Structure 1
Amino acid sequence: MSTNETTAGSEQSPDRQRHPLARGIELLTLMVDTGEDSYGVRELASLMGVSASTAHRLLGDLEKLGMVGRTRDGAYRLGLEFLRLAWATTARLPLEEAATDILGQLTERTGESSFFGVYNEQRQQMMFTHTVESPHPLRYVLPMHTWLPLHAGASGLAILAFLPDETRHEIVHGPLPALTARTRVDPGKLSDRLDEIRRDGYAISHGERIEGAISVAAPVFGLSGTIVVGDIGITIPESRFNLGTESELVRLVKDSAAALTDRIASSRVAIRPQPNKVQSNGVA
């Protein structure tokens, strides 16, 4: 074996022996840092310096875990489970701090408990991950970190209404358990209501998830500004709800959701690296 062959082999050996977990994390890091909406298999393979088959295998494993997802044209993007985990990483993340700050302002301005909920694409469910409690002694405590259906209550409907058509149709025509006597379980009526929510940009519900609770929620979108990742809202005891303040509450909720969407979008600019630097580091 020649010296050149030995050298080439020794340079490639670490790449061949790199653990799949390390490669998976590396792939996710590239998708986060480059900040594109979606990626082709060959594009990711080129960025990582690996074969297309290796990249495809890594993507398949990550897709099973919900860390990446596919677009309608077959490209890959960061999965919503990945985003949920990012949100759940306590106050270390700037976005977590941004959400807490926005929720605090929303509760201060409305006097009501505010919440942030995230959507999981694989489960087709949502969960409350952050809340700021109302100062009023009478308030509802939301079930934190518990997967909940999307068809019941404004917190789920504000997400469901903005999902892709196929996903929305699948959920609307799937099981629709009645959580309370007010939960809408008729697919036709539910579809009509979702059309209204998309038109108005927010959802409001009266006792559909929790008896006696009124909720107002608006969608929060991810990096692209088009994929719904969760929502922001408030919950109010029915006995304290004043119909005359509804329009103002809706405005505050929609403004808060838009502010968080803007924070998410601006964060991608802040972490965008120089593309040439990624390749020059010999990432494999």
Structure 2
Amino acid sequence: MSTIAKAMHLLNTLADMRMEPGLTDIAIASGMDKATTRRMLVELSRFGFVEQDATTRRYRLGSAPVRLSRIREQRYPFASVVAPFARALVEATGETVHVSEPAGEKLATVHVEMSDYTHRVMIDAGQLLPFHATASGLAFLSTLAPDELETMLSAPLAAFTQTTLVSVDMLRERLNEGRKRGYCTSEGDYEQGVMSAAAAIVDGRGMARGTIAVAGPAMRVDRAKLEEFGAHAAETARQIERALWGTQKTGQDRHGRTEWTTTERSKIRTTSRS
């Protein structure tokens, strides 16, 4: 693992820890030895990515990621644009809605609108989601060209519940269904008792910028309701695309399109570079 990879791993580990941890806690959670962990923390602190409480000596995320996030949102607005659409989707479905963007090997939740129900699905802003085990991840994967998809599915697929798809062939079938419908669903694949439906938000070049998903508890959301949520998510995704890129037709035609071909993707990339 490279030095940069170790630093990013350490930041993600710290972000996932609920309480402000000490050095030993971070080392154990990250799987790195204490000496390496301390050296990484010192360097990350120098640039504001990590802070250490002077009294307790415990660590927390610094302000540098916030600064970078604000600069990115100002230059490439996304979360601020999707927020009103997410709120409208909560009103239409009654369930929790969350928007995600790709972040390396996972999706990162960038905006959440909670359901008004007392018993609801809880999702944290910044939460990382696996591609193969969530409706959001499947919706994103469904937009990829065949060669890109093979790369994404080359590593072993982790099982989070008894229903998580770990067979690549079965996953391909699920993605083909999602392409035809314009949305993907998950029935307890990542967390038992959670039903979710998601659609990809695609730009005019056919590249997935993110996803929007509806998630509710299985006690209230059956399969028919889930398909209804999927249709709502797909329509909302198209509205977001028009708001972001000002076009009635985006790079992915959700009406009957089954997959991107390698030739089509190549043409898109050639055009975008010219």
Is the pair's TM-score, using the shorter chain for normalization, greater than 0.5? yes
Matches of 1:243 and 1:150, distance apart in 2? 21
Matching of residue 207 in structure 1 with residue 188 in structure 2:
yes
Matching of residue 249 in structure 1 with residue 229 in structure 2:
yes
Matches of 2:179 and 2:185, distance apart in 1? 12
Partner of 2:140: 159
Task: Using the TM superposition, give the Cα deviation of residue 86 of structure 1 relative to its aligned residue in structure 2, in angstroms.
Answer: 6.8
Secondary structure, counterpart of 1:205 in structure 2:
strand
Task: Using the TM superposition, give the Cα deviation of residue 147 of structure 1 relative to its aligned residue in structure 2, in angstroms.
Answer: 3.0
Equivalent position to 2:127, from 125, 146, 158:
146
Partner of 1:240: 220
Partner of 1:32: none
Deviation by residue 1:165-196 (Cα, 9 ceiling, x = unmatched):
21211122312111111110011111121111
Matching of residue 96 in structure 1 with residue 79 in structure 2:
yes
Partner of 2:93: 110
Task: Using the TM superposition, give the Cα deviation of residue 89 of structure 1 relative to its aligned residue in structure 2, in angstroms.
Answer: 3.6
Matches of 1:249 and 1:193, distance apart in 2? 17
Matches of 1:149 and 1:247, distance apart in 2? 21
Matches of 1:126 and 1:228, distance apart in 2? 12
Task: Using the TM superposition, give the Cα deviation of residue 208 of structure 1 relative to its aligned residue in structure 2, in angstroms.
Answer: 0.6
Q: Which amino acid aligns with 1:97?
A: S
Matches of 2:99 and 2:185, distance apart in 1? 15
Equivalent position to 1:197, from 161, 178, 184:
178
Q: Which amino acid aligns with 1:263?
A: A
Matches of 1:102 and 1:176, distance apart in 2? 32
Q: Specify whether residues 128 and 95 from structure 1 end up closer, same or farther in structure 2 by C-alpha distance, changes over 3 A only.
A: closer
Task: Using the TM superposition, give the Cα deviation of residue 88 of structure 1 relative to its aligned residue in structure 2, in angstroms.
Answer: 6.4
Partner of 1:174: 155
Matches of 1:252 and 1:226, distance apart in 2? 21
Contact 2:95-2:215 at 8 Å conserved across structures:
yes
Partner of 1:266: 246
Task: Using the TM superposition, give the Cα deviation of residue 96 of structure 1 relative to its aligned residue in structure 2, in angstroms.
Answer: 3.0
Q: Which amino acid aligns with 1:253?
A: A
Q: Specify whether residues 196 and 86 from structure 1 end up closer, same or farther in structure 2 by C-alpha distance, changes over 3 A only.
A: farther
Matches of 1:174 and 1:94, distance apart in 2? 32
Matches of 1:242 and 1:190, distance apart in 2? 22
Q: Which has the larger radius of gyration?
A: 1
Matches of 1:143 and 1:115, distance apart in 2? 9
TM-score by length of 1: 0.58
Structure number with the higher helix fraction is 1
State, as a whole percentage, how many aligned pairs show the same letter.
26
In structure 2, stretches of 5+ residues that fail to align are 1-67, 248-274
Matches of 2:71 and 2:108, distance apart in 1? 12
Contact 1:172-1:191 at 8 Å conserved across structures:
no
Secondary structure, counterpart of 1:137 in structure 2:
coil
Q: Specify whether residues 176 and 243 from structure 1 end up closer, same or farther in structure 2 by C-alpha distance, changes over 3 A only.
A: closer
Secondary structure, counterpart of 1:258 in structure 2:
helix
Q: Specify whether residues 87 and 157 from structure 1 end up closer, same or farther in structure 2 by C-alpha distance, changes over 3 A only.
A: farther
Root mean square deviation, CA, Å: 2.4
Contact 2:112-2:124 at 8 Å conserved across structures:
no
- Number of aligned pairs? 180
Deviation by residue 1:2-39 (Cα, 9 ceiling, x = unmatched):
xxxxxxxxxxxxxxxxxxxxxxxxxxxxxxxxxxxxxx
Contact 1:106-1:256 at 8 Å conserved across structures:
yes
Q: Specify whether residues 241 and 146 from structure 1 end up closer, same or farther in structure 2 by C-alpha distance, changes over 3 A only.
A: closer
Task: Using the TM superposition, give the Cα deviation of residue 145 of structure 1 relative to its aligned residue in structure 2, in angstroms.
Answer: 1.3
Q: Which amino acid aligns with 2:111?
A: H
Matches of 2:71 and 2:128, distance apart in 1? 15
